Structure 1
Amino acid sequence: MSPDPDCPFCEIVQRDDPDAREVYRDEHVVAFFPLEPATLGHTLVIPREHLADIWALDGATAGHLAQATLRVADAVRKAMNPEGLNIIQSNGEAATQTVPHLHVHVVPRWHGDAVGRIWPPETNYSDDQKDDAWERLRSECRTELQ
């Protein structure tokens, strides 16, 4: 797939963004700081190929992305000494994806940082709702594996 001329992440891949704070690059991925990091050390890992979201991702690219994410997570741990770490990958506007180029956030965390909680403290789904979702997902996974 060719670069998207309107994609700011493709611009970074092509080295057309002089403001990019790049931390890692290989033949498959690029890792860099976002313009507005959630915490110091927050790094984005992207495939060099323009893929809009996880549903456009193939297994080989997923493997390269996962390896690079592990490498960046290790570097963040050594360089920033965080108390924790979030790995976040969002798809679609409803999930807060703002740039339609697949990316993984590696976010070092500290108690009291500006990010705060990322999960609701509780939910109120009924057992019937949970069982229905469980059965639908389990059935779909079995179909995919056959």
Structure 2
Amino acid sequence: MPTLISRDEALRRIEAEGGAPECLMCAIVRREVGAVHAIAEDATMLVMLPRYVRRWGHVMVVPKPHVTSFAEVDPTLWARANALAHQAARMVERVMRPRRCYVASTGSSAGEMTQTSRHLHVHVIPLYEADDRPSDVFSWSEGIYVGAPEEWAELQARYRAVWDAS
């Protein structure tokens, strides 16, 4: 079972793993900030399990080119990111059986921060509680779930087993 840790502990671990990269998403794509649990990957996209999550089963879709605004992202690339997010949401529904999923593109105008980045990306977050709200899943104030290596491997395997059928 994943472990709930405090926001402060999560921040300490993140800094110990990779410091403060100029672009968190680019550092993840380049495997510079700890383990990456990829579900699917090709030359332009990474579909992965973020290692610090508010809900177990969270998936993230990251375009590999460094893009920070909708004005600079290629429309075909962004359409593909959203198609992969849709596929990821179907996969999450099939494997985790949540009540529903949030699918959101988030970003920070303040720069690199936890759970956000200027680099455009899409979150697919399973919701398990009837009263889950965006403020519950996008804030780290109530703690963060982390998994042991075997828990990540098990979830990654479950997702990969149904990825192509989603």
- What TM-score does the superposition give when structure 2 sets the normalisation length? 0.58
Unpaired segments ≥5 residues, structure 2: 1-20, 136-166
Q: Structure 1 residue 50: deviation in Å?
A: 0.7
Residue 93 of structure 2 corresponds to 77
Q: Structure 1 residue 18: deviation in Å?
A: 4.2
User: Which of 48, 54, 57 is residue 41 of structure 1 equivalent to?
Assistant: 57
Residue 136 of structure 1 corresponds to none
Residue 152 of structure 2 corresponds to none
How many residues are paired up? 112
The whole-number CA distance in structure 1 between the counterparts of 2:107 and 2:70 is: 7
Task: Give the secondary-structure state (helix, strand or coil) at the position aligned to 2:125.
Answer: strand
State the identity %.
Answer: 27
Q: How does 1:33-112 map to 2 (within 5 A)?
A: 33-93=49-109, 98-112=116-130
Tell me whether 1:22 sits opposite 2:38 in the alignment: yes
**Higher CA-based Rg:** 1
Structure with the larger RCO, 1 or 2 (CA within 8 Å, 6+ apart): 2
Runs of 4+ in 1 over 6 A off after TM superposition: none
- What TM-score does the superposition give when structure 1 sets the normalisation length? 0.65
Which has the higher mean CA deviation after the structures are superposed, 19-28 or 81-90?
19-28
Q: Structure 1 residue 100: deviation in Å?
A: 1.5
- When the two chains are superposed, the root-mean-square deviation of aligned CA atoms in Å is 2.5
Deviations 1:21-64 (A, max 9, x none): 22221222101222321201111111010111333222111121
**Contact 1:89 1:103 (C-alpha < 8 Å) held by counterparts:** yes
Unpaired segments ≥5 residues, structure 1: 120-146
The whole-number CA distance in structure 1 between the counterparts of 2:71 and 2:62 is: 14
The whole-number CA distance in structure 1 between the counterparts of 2:116 and 2:95 is: 28
